Amino acid sequence: MVQCGGKKKEEKKKTKKKKKKRAAHQKITKKRWKKKKKKKKKKKKKKKKKKKKKKKKKLDAFGCIH
């Protein structure tokens, strides 16, 4: 293991390249998303609220309530 002097120079270069690629890819995907969003407009369905069931409090072996 390398001591905490950070990454080696070669490793740093690799990460920089990866970051650049990733950023470019994000731009492309964003454009695609915008195109897709324009095409479809779905009506939002109203969600029905579910009633929560009350749990009965259980006593465990030591008589503590959970």
Q: How far apart are CA 25 and CA 17, in angstroms?
A: 12
Ranges of each domain in the chain: 10-65
pLDDT digits (tens, 9 = 90+) for 15-51: 666 666 666 666 666 777 666 666 666 677 777 777 7
pLDDT digits (tens, 9 = 90+) for 44-64: 777 777 777 777 777 777 766
Q: Which of 18, 56, 44, 25 is nearest to 66 (CA)?
A: 56
Going by C-beta distance under 8 Å and a sequence separation of 6 or more, which residues neighbour residue 58? 65, 66
Q: Note the Cα 51 to chain centre separation in Å.
A: 28
Two tokens, residue 61 = 């072996």
